[in-house]
Structure 1
Amino acid sequence: MKTQTGKWALGVLMLAVVTVTACKSNREAGQANPDPAHNSQNALDWAGMYQGTLPCADCPGIQTTLTLSEDGGYTLQTSYLERGDSVYTETGQFTWDDAGGRITLDGDGQKFQVGENRLIQLDHEGNRITGTLADHYVLEKIDDTLIGKYWKLVELHGKPVEPGSTMKEPFIRLTAVSNRVEGTGGCNGMGGTFELKAPNRIGFSHMIRTMMACENMEIENDMIGVLETADSYHVSTDTLQLFRARMAPLAKFVAVPDN
């Protein structure tokens, strides 16, 4: 009986040794063939334009646009709300941390955590900002294919806008500075603001225009109505379409050189 007990104990010990050895071998194999490193720097499409309104200690907010280039350059534009129309622009280089998850701007040392289509502003120590406003320290990536182009109006509610049918060529141009939109409906100059949100969402403010009277004002009136009701868009090559509630296109524009 004593011999059988000894054999049983020896068997248990050998099983334990085999199990530990197998687990160790599996771990070592996993260490020898680790997954390729995946971090924000090498796994995300981080280059592009980011926008948002960051908290401000003594104003309603800081409207911020940060553009990151693949060569490590950046352009930072900030505008303090309710402090006039002053826009501050800063350019420079940014650096990644060793983990490839955070960047630091070389200008004033601002730090951001790089996520999927967003940047999260960090404190100067590189930590997430906490408190009731924590969720507001975010810049969202926007579709910059719309920005800076001269978009000529070519169609309204499915009907072509013929060249020469208005005194001026109807167009819009969206700029990143203060999210401004400007243009003309064919007679009056007009302007306002816009907001972009993923995926392919857009909204325009009430459009302000001059008060000239021209022939064929229907096109201008309809164009302004489209801008003030559109809630989404689609860009294909050099064509921009505006929609409302995924219905038929309200208007179509093409990108052309400035006149």
Structure 2
Amino acid sequence: MKKSLLLAALVLAGCSQLPAPETSSPAQVSSTELLSQPLTDDIVPNSATTEAVATNFEQIFIDTDVSFSGTLPCADCPGIQYHLNLYRDGRFEIRQEYLERGDINIIKGIWLLEKRNLHLVNQQQTLPAFYFTSNNRLAMLDLAGKPISSALNYQLQRENEFVKLDSRQPMLGLYLLQDNQATFTLCQSGETLAVANTQHHLPMMRHYQQDERLRNNAVIATLVGRKRDNERGESQLLIEKFEQFWPNAACPDPYAPGKIHGIVWRAEKLAGRYLPQQLNVRMIFDGQDRLYGFSGCNSFNGSYQQRANRLNVAGLASTQKYCSDSSQLEQQFTSSLQAADRAEVNGDKLQLFKDNNLLIEFKPALN
């Protein structure tokens, strides 16, 4: 009975709404009184959870120009260096650089966002899709659009600030100068660009005009350049560095493999190892039993004889510049070239052998 009475009393006390005693209004409380009040226990301590920025995990909004970068795995090279720019107007630009292979792709198009999936759309090339794991990180998806489960890094990190794309790249194409107006037709895409008359173009023009083998002909040339649109919206080529002309060369024909002569070959591997991309080691066997090229620091030329697959290179001569970063590899390349006794074209690869041991492996230079 006593317990029942006690419980009833507690319930009545909890339900009663007695007026609170009168106190001073907040405006009348002095700062000294506020500072003297004890701190409450409602403060949540710092942690990774409380410091995290709130995110809408269903949608990502790109309302400013952003840059992502990183190096992703590559099947037959040390990695592919990505620089991806997403523009808030729906455009994208991406630079893919295949490390130690010398291949650089500059691709433009539009991006589409499906919740957190990012699709990069280009009519000529298929690009991987990505997934926003956070506002600052993109993860590559596989061909089925699923996350890639791997110990390797397949993620691009957002840059703190927007970074302009470096659109310079090695190029190979047909150069033609007529009435002081030059055009350059890219072997890889077939696109013809007007060449801007800049200071880096002048040495190329003089070389072309002074060499009777080149003048008034469309000649294969290698250079480093970038494309831009002029004030009329027309694409132009800005030459950053002219490398050399390749008389008697033609654009490689992907439908006619097996041909050795008349193709600019780029050395991919030397003694089974990839050559550093910046060396741009290239050469050509012309149709007159002569060969010439660039071995990473110096230009060289010589003669050769070929009977079926048998090869003999002789009389190799080169310029005598010294380059600390390439001279050792250059010497190894030229020694291997002169030692080769057999040449074979397997698919799109030109392979040089000595006593059945592979010395040098080339691929047609597309840029």
Same fold (TM over 0.5): no
Going by fraction, where is helix more abundant, 1 or 2?
1
Higher relative contact order (CA 8 A, sep 6+): 1
Greater Cα radius of gyration, structure 1 or 2:
2
TM-score normalised to the size of structure 1? 0.41
